[in-house]
Amino acid sequence: MEPNIFTTYMHSKKVFKGNKDILRPSYIPEQLPHREEYINELASIMVTALRGNRPSNVLIFGKTGTGKTAVVRYLEREVERLKRENADSQFQGEFQEFNVHRVNYVYINCEVVDTHYGVMKNIGNKFMSEWSEQIPFTGWPMEKVYESLKERIDEEPRVVVIILDELDKLVSKSGDTVLYHLSKINSELKQSKVSLIGISNHLKFTEFLDPRVRSRLGEEKLIFPPYNAEQLKDILTERVNKAFEAENIMDDDVIALCAALAAQEHGDARRALDLLRVATEIAEREHCEHVDTNHVYKAKNKIEQDCVREAVITLPTHSKLTMYAILLSRTNGHNKLTTGEVYAGYKEVCTVSGMDPLTQRRITDIISELDMLGLVNARVKSFGRRGRTKEIQPSVPEVDTISIIEQDETIIPVKKLRTFEDHQQMKLM
């Protein structure tokens, strides 16, 4: 057979036999080490539903990668399993009195579904299999969507557990109207009961809620702490054993290193798994038979670069222009910039690109935002009687980031500035 461009890659896949998808964040493992306590606590709240009563509403908080989504989806799967077993054999014991099939879980990721209408539509359609009866994507008045949702839920006695994951995203985008309605829906239902599980990465998000909504929603609260390095090691070890057929694919210190790096950040299991998965991919591409710590360091770089890329690409135009001015000054040999210098550079880039510059005050705010995103480092520096200013430095690789910014088509004219300057420099040399 003629060698094909893919042949080498297809061959390289064979190095680590197994299923790498198991290392992806979307995979929900059979066991969740170090979360047993929270699973039990949630199960003890949710068991009320299996008895036909309304469980308390729950708010779950915790930083990214602390297992919030994994835990609620794990419980959802357990309920489904119970239903299957119940279908096979006569259900025993105290749960006999209520049919477990009347317990319904509705999971919604509010990062994806982030409008009042969308959330209501998704819940309503969960109880409607006929395509022709579905609530349409848009077009119905809110009132009609809400009435239809209530009607559907209340058709027969059920307990509906609605999980709103990434709830802070919904609230910051669309406010708390949907929560207001959902949290008082029980007073309008005749035979069904609804309970809510809200999940948020930020503890403070409840400050943005109407006080009534806040108290109804937070009947129970759970806070998931970050994982430490030891715990991350357990999580990774279990996943690796499951993902690969052969043992000893990883050098001994690989898992420990991934765990340590992720623990340094904020105990993020997702980051730990990403490091491991990307390291494996790099090792595979290099046709190595083992994953070693060098692969992990390379993975760390790659992930960081991807993060920078993502952060820069999604910046609003004037933030990009500000970032661009900072990077260009740096490549022109300026080390630490004051706010005034950044502003001067920014105005210049604006002129060349034909845009009206914002005020210096706005640019000062933008610099703080860039600082928070980790793209620049802005330290307040005191100059004695002359007052205080900021010392601003990019904290990302300059040349790479410049080329990312230049991919923005509205910023093409700014390119001329650099070529113009290069030109000037060339002439001087």
Ligand X SMILES: Nc1ncnc2c1ncn2[C@@H]1O[C@H](COP(=O)(O)OP(=O)(O)O)[C@@H](O)[C@H]1O
- Answer for which of 12, 48, 64, 339 binds ligand X (CB under 6 A) is 64
183 interacts with Mg ion by CB under 5 A: no
- Answer for which of 38, 39, 61, 62 binds ligand X (CB under 6 A) is 62
Distance CA 77, CA 35 (A): 16
Distance CA 196, CA 265 (A): 31
CA distances from 169 to 58, 160, 176, 261 (A): 17, 22, 11, 27
Dihedral angle over CA of 261, 267, 271, 277, nearest 10: 70
Distance CA 291, CA 376 (A): 33
Neighbouring C-beta atoms of residue 317, cutoff 10 Å: 13
124 interacts with ligand X by CB under 6 A: no
Distance CA 312, CA 227 (A): 29
Q: Which amino acid is at 109?
A: N
280 interacts with ligand X by CB under 6 A: no
Considering only 68-76, 296-304, 307-315, 342-350, which stretch makes contact with Mg ion by CB under 5 A? 68-76
Minimum CB distance to ligand X smaller for 73 or for 102: 73
Minimum CB distance to ligand X smaller for 202 or for 347: 202
- The answer to whether the CB of 238 falls within 8 A of the CB of 33 is yes
- Answer for which of 29, 316, 374, 397 binds ligand X (CB under 6 A) is 29
Q: Which amino acid is at 179?
A: L
Question: Which H or E run contains 2?
Answer: none
69 interacts with ligand X by CB under 6 A: yes
- Answer for which of 39, 70, 283, 349 binds ligand X (CB under 6 A) is 70
Minimum CB distance to ligand X smaller for 32 or for 46: 32
- Answer for which of 42, 57, 59, 69 binds Mg ion (CB under 5 A) is 69
183 interacts with ligand X by CB under 6 A: no
270 interacts with ligand X by CB under 6 A: yes
Query: Which of the choices ligand X, Mg ion, none does residue 33 contact, using the CB cut-off of 5 to 8 A by kind?
Result: ligand X
Q: Which residues bind ligand X (CB under 6 A)?
A: 25, 27-29, 32-35, 62, 64-70, 235, 269-270, 273
